[in-house]
Structure 1
Amino acid sequence: MAVLPVKFTKTKRDKLAQILWILNWISVITGAILFSLGLFLKVEINKRKELMAERDIQYVPNMLIAVGFIACAINFLGGKICYDCVDTSKFLRWKLIMLPYIVCTFFFTSCILVGALMCYSMRGELEESLDLGLAAALKFYKDTDTPGRCFLKRTVDMLQIEFQCCGNNGYKDWSQIQWISNRYLDMSHKEVVDRLRSNVEGKYLQDGVPFSCCNVNSPRPCIQSQISNNSAHYNYDHVTEQLNLWPRGCRHALLDHYTHIMQSIGLTVLVIWVFELSVLTGVRYLQTALENVLRQGDPDSESDGWLLENSFMETARTNLNIIKNLGKCNQVDTANNGDPNINVPCTSKATYGPDNVPPKQQPVTS
């Protein structure tokens, strides 16, 4: 029994072909949108790649770019097919191509759904990449004279100013690393020397943060040194001074930024997937309806269209049998050692009988 059968007249078939021609051209535009979204996400990630650890997070934008490019090509071909299908006689040139085209388009449409789901599942890997990358960037913040790292100070400062954040997880991260280069430390000062000697790793740690952590909304001048020492500043309590420094860590700020982008892209890709699936469904109905017209021989007659000619279980069983027969053919070819002169039929033992013995020929009587 056919799945979701629909009866089409010639007028309905022509209208369906015309509508699908227009929708396929719209799908070319949606493919360009997919390509643009993937390119935009790739650029956004590369803009701050120095703040991310080397993790394979480029697969999402790369997949969107590839899917968008393929969508333009497939839907361009689909538009040409639907335009020719308005005339039943022109359908004959596409008859053998229609089914492979629909199967390939179905798997391609599934890739769009996978791309949308990947946008939502990327958060965990992105968070790990940001955590490790920002920790390394803060560690090399002081290396302004080291080739390959001299840009990190400016990058981190601009990041903290733009996203109104401080440190990796918070401002306390700066007190656990040496972020001032030794060339700017007065080694003749006893306090500096004592602080370097008191640290096991010989680092100059202090209770302070860079200027870029200062909250511009603070009513008082920014306190960026001796943050935890209340007696070092007049009328100051580091617990209640909420507006002195940016309270949020840069990892959370960047993660929220990228999450918002990926959720917006994921929602857009889902809408495109639903649209592509509806176009594919229409093309399937058009194909089956026109094939039934060719069987009937009358181009003006009514015809039935369906998604599947048999039920889902019967279709799956038929395809499984085809795959099994293909496997048996391969086994026969292997047994022949690739000799083309040996002609062994690709049949199962049940072809002749339970003992695989051909039936005796009956004598011919006049």
Structure 2
Amino acid sequence: MVLFKMQFPLEKRVKLAQALWLLSWLATIAGVLTFSVGIFLKTELRKRSEVMDNTEIHAVPNTLILVGLASLGVNFFAGRICQDSLDVARFPRWKGFVTPYFVGSGFFCFLLLVAVFMSYAMKGNLEESLKIGLKNGIRFYKDTDTPGRCFQKQTIDLLQIEFKCCGNSNFKDWFEVQWISNRYLDFSSKEVKDRIKSNVDGRYLVDGVPFSCCNPTSPRPCIQQQISNNSAHYNYDYQTEELNLFTRGCRAALVSYYMGLMNTIGVGVLLVFLLQVLVLVSLRYLQTATEGAVGQENAACETEGYLLEKGVKETLKSSFESLAQVFRVNQVEAGGEGGRCCPLTPTPDRNPNPRHQR
């Protein structure tokens, strides 16, 4: 049973070819945009790789880059078929390439759906990556003299200023690490010695935060030292007063930023997927309608176009049988090459004719 059959006179086939040519170029431009978005997202992720723990989140931009490159070849091929479909005599040369094209385009559309799904499903991996990466970044904030970590302080400070955040979950994360380098501590001071001795690990912990946590919109001068000590500041209550620090953690800020990007990208990729499906459907109609005119005396005759020559169940069954036949032929050929016998050679006759012995 033919599915979604339509009649295509010559004028309708020409209009379909022209529309498909335009759609293929639009899909090509969409592929270029998809590739550019993938590059942009990968750049944004690599820009803050120092505060990220794993590389699994790069699967989204890598897929977008791959899909964008594949779109160029897929839609260029579709445009060439559109041009040759107007000349029935030239169309048969594409007959052997159309089926592999549909298989490749189907896989390409599947990758588009995978990219859309990953754009919305990467929140958990992103949050876990930032949680560990920011924790290590705060812990190495003071290591400005250590090779490989010289710019860690600059990265964290710029991050907190740009995203208006402080710490991993909140500003109290800075209370749990020594973020002041030993080279800037006066070890002859009694206060420094007492703080180091009071800590099991011998770290200099303070209830303070770096200057980059200060909120510039606060009317009060920034209180970044002795934050929990009410007596250290005039007219100050740590428990009730609104602090003049960024209260949002950097993990929440970065997750919100990147998920906003990925959600927007997901909508865009979904539109590209719908456009690519429209190209495939239109090309299938154009292919079947043009093949009906091949070999006809009157090339301007009315032909039939359809999506599937058989039903969905029959098409899947025949496709699986064709694949099984291909694998079976390959196995037989491999087995024949491995078990090939040597040709028989004639053996001398053990009882020759007595007359020859004379």
The answer for the alignment partner of 2:134 in structure 1 is 134
In the alignment, what sits opposite 1:241?
A: 241
Which residue number in structure 2 is paired with residue 168 of structure 1? 168
Who is 2:356 aligned against? none
CA positional deviation for 1:263:
0.8
Contact 2:292 2:303 (C-alpha < 8 Å) held by counterparts: yes
Tell me, yes or no, if structure 1 residue 86 matches structure 2 residue 86: yes
Deviation at 1:73, TM superposition (A): 1.8
Per-residue deviation at 1:297?
A: 5.0
Structure 2 vs 1, CA of residues 324 and 77 (structure 1 numbering), >3 Å: closer, same or farther?
Answer: closer
1:364 is aligned to: none
Q: Mapping of 1:27-176 within 5 angstroms?
A: 27-176=27-176
Structure 2 residue 329 is the aligned partner of structure 1 residue 292: no
Q: Work out the CA distance in 2 between the residues paired with 1:142 and 1:300.
A: 79
SS at match of 1:57: helix
| CA distance in structure 1 between the aligned counterparts of 2:297 and 2:107, rounded to whole angstroms | 32
Percent of paired sites with the same residue: 51
1:338 CA drift (Å): 4.3
1:136-184 residue CA offsets vs partner (Å, 9 max, x unmatched): 1100111111121121111111111111100010000000000111111
The answer to whether the Cα contact below 8 Å between 2:21 and 2:79 also exists between their aligned partners in 1 is yes
Matches within 5 A, 1:137-286: 137-286=137-286
1:285-325 Cα offsets, whole Å, 9 max, x none, are 11111122226554222111111111101111112222333
The gaps in structure 2 that reach 5 residues or longer are 343-358
Cα distance in 1 between the residues matched to 2:304 and 2:44: 50
Conserved? CA contact 1:143–1:181, under 8 Å: yes
Letter in 1 for 2:268: T
Deviations 1:74-131 (A, max 9, x none): 2112111101111211212212222221221121122112112111112111111111
Aligned residue for 1:88, secondary structure, equals coil
Which deviates more from structure 2 when the two are superposed, residues 170-179 or residues 124-133?
124-133
Distance 1:96 1:324, change over 3 A: closer
* Counterpart-to-counterpart distance in 2, 1:259 and 1:334: 50
Does the Cα contact within 8 Å between 1:217 and 1:243 map onto a contact in 2? no
8 Å CA contact 2:89, 2:294 repeated in 1: no
SS at match of 2:7: strand
How many Å apart are 1:189 and its aligned residue?
Answer: 1.2
More displaced, 269-278 or 185-194?
Answer: 185-194
Q: 1:100 to 1:298 in 2, by over 3 A?
A: farther
**Across the two proteins, how many residue pairs are aligned to each other?**
342
**SS across alignment from 1:41:** helix
Partner Cα distance (2:322, 2:209) in 1 = 69
What is the CA–CA distance in structure 1 between the aligned matches of 2:51 and 2:270, rounded to whole Å? Answer: 30
Measured on the aligned residues, the alpha-carbon RMSD in Å equals: 1.8
What's the CA shift for 1:339? 5.9
Aligned equivalents of 1:275 and 1:154: distance in 2? 44
2:5 partner amino acid: P
TM-score by length of 1: 0.89
Alpha-carbon deviation of 1:63? 1.6
The equivalent residue for 1:6 is 6
Map Cα deviations across residues 221-271 of structure 1 (whole Å, 9 max, x no partner): 111111112222221111222241110000111111111111111111111
Cα distance in 1 for partners of 2:54, 2:104 equals 34
> Would the aligned equivalents of 2:102 and 2:280 in 1 still touch at CA under 8 Å?
yes
The residue identity in structure 2 corresponding to 1:278 is L
Per-residue deviation, 1:334: 5.2
Query: What is the SS of the residue equivalent to 1:265?
Result: helix
One-letter identity of the residue aligned with 2:189: H
* Structure 2 CA distance for partners of 1:190 and 1:80, relative to 1, 3 Å: same
Contact 2:166-2:247 at 8 Å conserved across structures: yes
Evaluate the alpha carbon distance shift between residue 337 and residue 93 of structure 1 in structure 2; reply closer, same or farther with a 3 A threshold: closer
Contact 2:31 2:72 in 1 (8 A): yes
Instruction: Report the AA paired with residue 28 of structure 2.
Output: V
SS at match of 2:89: helix
Once the two structures are TM-superposed, the CA of residue 329 in structure 1 deviates from its matched residue by: 3.1
Between 290-299 and 226-235, the greater mean CA deviation after superposition: 290-299
Whole-angstrom CA distance in 2 between matches of 1:339 and 1:208? 79
For residues 146 and 204 of structure 2, what CA distance do their matches in structure 1 show?
Answer: 18
AA aligned to 1:158 is L
Q: Which amino acid aligns with 1:310?
A: K
Over 3 Å counting, the alpha-carbon distance change for 1:180 and 1:335 in structure 2 is closer
Residue type matched to 1:29 in 2?
I
SS in 2 for 1:11: helix
Give SS of 1:246's match. coil
Q: How much has 1:218 moved relative to structure 2?
A: 1.5
Whole-angstrom CA distance in 2 between matches of 1:94 and 1:340: 38
